[in-house]
């Protein structure tokens, strides 16, 4: 029994020595011209490999360097350059028959450059097109090679994406990892990708690719699920931290995608501050990669109990997008709206808050995202501006009319036509009904730094004060201005307007001098002669 064990041990040792010896005397570089030729033929680009070494323990061959040429119309630099390429092979046919059966390719720390021309063509569009025979391929040794790769991996890559059409800075993706299984140019095959994003987030994509388009690799069909988390955006028109979960497909130059975006600490106004509550956006888009434009056919905005809709079209230009959209929201809870106001660059009077009621808005959004113009109608119903007493703020006007004051301002109805642009906001056809005060109408502007300039008219019930002393009974109109800032508004009576209206009401065919004297007598408490 011991002799048998020794014999088995001797045979195993001999086999190990035989394999090791074969590996020691085996020169993997004899396959380099053939492997370069086969990869060049497969990719349609000139492929160069560095020194090849047999890695016996890992079951493969390692190249010290890898470069894949770019299309000459794009660049004379390499399309892909990698620190090393590990080629998984079947060792037995390699050592015994000098036959190279490739089972896997692992590209380590590649630097990949994707470029899009103004025509929309990508520098990888022609990959896979058979390259003409070269001296290297013609003189390649006659050893056999099987390139039916079951596994392709890219680890620790760096991907640069640039476009001549947009004129923007290249986007750079670090720590790119890709895995492709059961690769076949003639059928679909699964893939997965993960990468770090420039905004600090992470992206994962998995799905299927193929069959490879024989004339334009960029038109290869793709079905994929995309996940992005903790991506910080700092672009024109929007800042915040977003997460995306979406499913999409690519057919030629057409992209269809649907999913959800969640935004936190977001704002859309340069003079705004981040919102205190997240907002979610369910979307369905159809995007044309050639035109860099698309249609948002479904856009549903959610924040707490708030629901609204956004739809329209867009086109990408440089680092911004030009949009032509419509926003529609009805019966939106006012407290949910209030949480969004800082992100929209809208401020309330200091110490005030909106409580209860509903809001509605129907708006158009047009222009570049950083210079967008928003216009339409907004309204509030049955809400309260707590911590803000409109009556006391209008104390000068209150002394004219005798209106009562209260700690809060109850708003029965508010509506206005608004237009917001980078130069400021205009509001027309303002109608505000405050039961404790009356009906206020007018128009005005708000500057980008929240300075107010409104000319208003209040239709008030006169129960006392100067207007009663002037002989005005019942409802009366008082013109006034709203100035100051959004956080500290001031209400100033339009004395000239008040006098003008009173004189006009007193004239009624009278001499203007007598009418003016009657106005002054009333103001100073003098009784009119019988």
The H or E element spanning position 373 is: strand 373-386
pLDDT on residue 91:
59
Burial of 435 (0-12, 13-18, 19+ CB in 10 A): exposed
pLDDT on residue 443:
97
No. of helices (H) and no. of strands (E), the chain? 10, 29
Burial of 123 (0-12, 13-18, 19+ CB in 10 A): buried
pLDDT on residue 306:
93
pLDDT on residue 383:
95
SS (H, E, C) 228-255: EEEEEEEECCEEEEEEEEEEEEEECCEE
pLDDT on residue 2:
46
Distance, in Å, from the CA atom of 198 to the CA atom of 213, rounded to the nearest integer, reads 30
Of 88, 191, 188, 110, which is closest to residue 156 (Cα–Cα)?
Answer: 110
Crossing angle of helices 512-523/495-507, nearest 10°?
A: 120
User: Are the beta carbons of 250 and 325 closer than 8 angstroms?
Assistant: no
DSSP 8-state secondary structure symbol assigned to residue 343: G
User: Are the beta carbons of 484 and 495 closer than 8 angstroms?
Assistant: no
pLDDT on residue 42:
76
| CA geometry: angle 450, 452, 454, nearest 5 deg | 150
Of 114, 131, 127, 112, which is closest to residue 66 (Cα–Cα)?
Answer: 112
Q: In sequence order, what are the residues at sequence separation of 6 or more whose Cβ sits closer than 8 angstroms to the Cβ of residue 529?
A: none
Backbone angles phi, psi at 271, to 5 degrees: -95, 15
Of 418, 417, 416, 348, which is closest to residue 385 (Cα–Cα)?
Answer: 348
Of 165, 132, 144, 139, which is closest to residue 44 (Cα–Cα)?
Answer: 132
Of 403, 410, 414, 413, which is closest to residue 480 (Cα–Cα)?
Answer: 403
pLDDT on residue 315:
92
Per-residue pLDDT of the chain (530 residues; tens, 9 = 90+): 444 344 334 334 333 333 434 444 346 677 788 778 877 887 788 889 888 887 655 557 788 888 899 888 888 888 899 988 887 766 565 555 555 566 788 889 999 998 888 777 888 887 765 444 455 444 444 444 444 567 888 999 999 988 776 556 788 889 999 999 888 778 889 999 999 987 778 999 999 998 888 888 888 899 999 999 988 888 777 889 999 999 999 988 899 999 999 999 998 888 888 888 999 999 999 999 878 899 999 999 999 899 999 999 999 876 678 999 999 999 999 999 999 999 988 989 988 999 999 999 999 999 998 889 999 999 999 999 998 877 677 665 555 555 566 678 889 999 999 999 999 999 999 999 988 778 899 999 999 999 999 999 988 755 544 444 445 555 677 788 999 999 999 888 876 766 565 545 544 554 544 544 444 344 334 444 44
Distance, in Å, from the CA atom of 307 to the CA atom of 332, rounded to the nearest integer, reads 7
User: Are the beta carbons of 481 and 393 closer than 8 angstroms?
Assistant: no
List the chain domain ranges: 1-220, 389-530
User: Are the beta carbons of 436 and 409 closer than 8 angstroms?
Assistant: yes
User: Are the beta carbons of 522 and 470 closer than 8 angstroms?
Assistant: yes
User: Are the beta carbons of 275 and 342 closer than 8 angstroms?
Assistant: yes
The H or E element spanning position 76 is: none
Residue with tokens 């707590």: 386
């Amino acid at each position: 029994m011991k002799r048998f064990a020794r014999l088995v041990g001797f045979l195993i040792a001999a086999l190990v020595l035989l394999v090791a010896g074969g590996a020691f005397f085996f020169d993997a570089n004899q396959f380099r011209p053939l492997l370069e030729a086969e990869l060049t033929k497969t990719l349609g680009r000139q492929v160069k490999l560095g020194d090849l070494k047999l890695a016996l323990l890992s079951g493969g061959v390692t190249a010290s360097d890898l470069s894949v040429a770019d299309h000459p119309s794009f660049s004379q630099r390499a399309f892909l350059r990698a620190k090393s390429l590990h080629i998984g092979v079947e060792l037995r046919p390699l050592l015994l028959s000098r036959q190279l059966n490739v089972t896997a390719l692992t590209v380590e720390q590649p630097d990949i450059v994707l470029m899009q021309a103004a025509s929309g063509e990508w520098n990888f569009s022609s990959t896979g097109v058979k390259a003409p025979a070269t001296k290297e391929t013609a003189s390649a040794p006659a050893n056999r090679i099987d390139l039916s790769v079951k596994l392709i991996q890219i680890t620790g890559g760096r991907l640069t994406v640039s476009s001549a059409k947009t004129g923007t800075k290249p986007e750079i993706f670090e720590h790119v990892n890709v895995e492709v299984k059961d690769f076949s140019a003639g059928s679909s095959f699964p893939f997965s990708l993960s990468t770090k994003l420039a905004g600090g987030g992470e992206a994962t994509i998995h799905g299927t690719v193929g069959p490879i388009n024989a004339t334009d690799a960029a038109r290869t069909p793709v079905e994929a699920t995309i996940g992005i988390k903790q991506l910080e955006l700092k672009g024109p028109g929007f800042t915040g931290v977003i997460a995306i979960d979406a499913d999409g497909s690519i057919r030629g130059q057409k992209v269809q995608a649907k999913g959800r975006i969640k935004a936190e600490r977001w704002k859309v106004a340069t003079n705004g501050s981040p919102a205190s509550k997240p907002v979610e956006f369910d979307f369905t888009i159809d995007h044309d990669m050639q035109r860099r434009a698309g249609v948002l056919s479904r856009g549903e905005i959610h924040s707490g109990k708030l629901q609204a809709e956004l739809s329209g079209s867009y086109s990408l230009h440089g680092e911004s997008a030009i949009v032509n959209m419509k926003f529609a929201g009805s019966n939106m809870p006012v407290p949910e709206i209030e949480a969004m106001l800082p992100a929209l660059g809208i401020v309330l009077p200091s110490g005030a808050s909106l409580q209860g009621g509903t809001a509605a808005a129907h708006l158009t959004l047009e222009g570049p995202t950083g210079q967008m113009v928003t216009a339409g109608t907004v309204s509030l119903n049955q809400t309260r501006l707590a911590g803000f007493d409109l009556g006391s703020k209008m104390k000068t006007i209150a002394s004219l009319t005798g209106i009562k004051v209260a700690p809060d301002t109850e708003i029965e109805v508010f509506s206005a036509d608004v237009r917001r642009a980078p130069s400021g906001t205009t509001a027309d056809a303002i109608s505000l009904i405050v039961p404790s005060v009356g009906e206020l109408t007018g128009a005005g502007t708000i500057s980008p730094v929240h300075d107010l300039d409104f000319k208003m008219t209040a239709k008030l019930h006169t129960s006392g004060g100067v207007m009663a002393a002037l002989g005005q009974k019942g409802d009366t109109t008082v013109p006034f201005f709203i100035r100051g800032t959004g956080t500290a508004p001031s209400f100033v009576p339009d004395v000239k307007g008040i006098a003008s209206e009173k004189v006009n009401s007193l004239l009624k065919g009278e001499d203007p001098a007598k009418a003016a004297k009657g106005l002054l007598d009333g103001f100073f408490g003098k009784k009119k002669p019988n």
